[in-house]
């Protein structure tokens, strides 16, 4: 049994980032791709192994503004 690896690619909507997304589309990899408007990208194929996450680059988040973790597990973790 092969355990799938997860790759996180920033700037995945075009150019080199989109090329990396396509290169990692393989049965052994799950991919999380992010950029400002990655969900609007027409360069990326559709796949159940690909999660697209839009980011807002205009509002910085300071570390002290982030919620503190109560346990070792995050509620925001993605499971495949």
Residues 46-73 pLDDT 10s: 888 899 988 865 555 555 555 665 555 5
In-domain check, residue 78: no
pLDDT of 7: 93
In-domain check, residue 77: no
Domain limits for position 40: 5-57
In-domain check, residue 21: yes
In-domain check, residue 63: no
pLDDT of 45: 86
Of 1, 9, 8, nearest to 27 by C-alpha is 1
**Domain count within the chain:** 1
pLDDT in tens, 20-52: 999 998 778 899 998 888 888 888 888 888 999
pLDDT band at 8 (very low <50, low <70, confident <90, very high): very high
pTM: 0.64
Q: What are the CA-CA distances from residue 13 to residues 3, 37, 45, 50, 63 (Å)?
A: 26, 7, 11, 12, 26
């Amino acid at each position: 049994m092969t355990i799938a690896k997860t790759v996180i690619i920033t700037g995945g909507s075009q150019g080199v980032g989109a090329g990396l997304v396509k290169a990692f589309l393989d049965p052994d990899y799950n991919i999380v791709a992010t950029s400002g408007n990655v969900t609007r990208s027409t360069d990326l194929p559709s796949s159940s192994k690909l999660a697209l996450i839009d980011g807002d680059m205009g509002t910085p988040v300071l570390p002290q503004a982030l919620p503190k973790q109560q346990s070792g597990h995050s509620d925001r973790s993605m499971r495949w």
